Amino acid sequence: MKIYEKAPAKINLLLDVMRKREDGFHEVEMIMTMVDLADRLEMEELQSDSIFISSQAGYIPLDEKNLAFQAARLIKDRYNVRKGVYIHLDKNIPVAAGLAGGSSDAAATLRGLNRLWQLGISEDELCTLGAELGSDVPFCVTGGTAIARGRGEKLERIPNPPQCWVILAKPPINVSTADVYGKLRASELKQHPSTQDMVEAISQGSFADVCANLGNVLETVTLQLHPEVLQMKDIMQRLGADGVLMSGSGPTVFGLVSKEAKVSRIYNGLRGFCKEVYVVRMLT
């Protein structure tokens, strides 16, 4: 038996860091939503007790370092599943981009194997399992739009933001999430984005207010380390995107655009500076 599961990318409309905790993690407050750029997972049951991963993307690990592998092993161990699975990852989400591609693959694996092996695990329990794999995995299990607190695993669902175009541009650089958090001095942050104002903008369906309240404190670190990201933000702003922000720890920058007429101009303008540009919609 074979099943398919979609693993969409996430963007952070807001990312705030409150403080560094005693356990080394950061206490965050994020507003996350999904966009319709997605990996596609194919899962086939194996009678042997083993996990195999394959992918057309040459640059991700296919062994136990792969988050989909880790998700499959976790669910097998926890629910005593003696069968195996072959997972093919059709990767479309750029890797190490701040779009939670790996986390979304892990979440899709948990959802898919719950179906494939008819385990009857509740969504809450899948989120709890997901939190063992990474802070963004619980959100990727549920999807939609949510405020994430704690280290990202405590979710409060909120309505979806108003529909719009999302233009993603990934500069050709690697950003280490650990490095960015390591260099962040949370206690010295001068400005914090307002979660409350963003939630209000979303619940009123005000696209202009959503754009006005975008904020990501990790920009203070990544933009200094990688001026290319700042340059990409400037270009997107100059080309007329309504709201522009870096997603996660970067390097992907996204622009929100309400009018379709502007989209191709911005896309074509960006393509002159950056090879990896995607035009997608919010997943609402």
Stretch that binds ligand ATP, among 58-66, 188-196, 235-243, 257-265 (CB under 6 A): 58-66
Q: Write down the least CB distance from residue 205 to ligand ATP, Å.
A: 27
Tokens describing residue 43 = 């899962």
- Exposed e or buried b per residue across 223-248, where buried means at least 16 C-beta atoms within 10 angstroms of its C-beta: bebbebbbebbebbeebebbbbbbbb
The HSE-up count of residue 203 (CA atoms within 13 Å, CB side) is 10
Q: Please report whether residue 98 would count as binding ligand ATP according to CB under 6 A.
A: yes
**DSSP-derived secondary structure letter, 153:** T
* Burial of residue 58 (number of CB atoms within 10 Å: 0-12, 13-18, 19+): exposed
Residues 224-253 vs ligand ATP: string with x where CB under 6 A?
------------------------xx----
Q: Please report whether residue 101 would count as binding ligand ATP according to CB under 6 A.
A: yes
Site for ligand ATP in 118-137 (CB under 6 A): 136
Among 14, 72, 103, 138, binds ligand ATP (CB under 6 A): 103
Stretch that binds ligand ATP, among 92-100, 117-125, 157-165, 219-227 (CB under 6 A): 92-100
What residue ranges in 50-187 does DSSP mark as E strands? 51-55, 84-90, 145-149, 154-158, 165-170
Q: Is 58 annotated as a binding residue?
A: no
Number of amino acids touching ligand ATP (CB under 6 A) = 21
Q: Is 107 annotated as a binding residue?
A: no
Tokens describing residue 160 = 């979806």
Q: State whether residue 146 is helix, strand or coil.
A: strand
Q: Write down the least CB distance from residue 166 to ligand ATP, Å.
A: 15
The annotation places the binding site at 94-104
The annotation places the binding site for ATP at 94-104
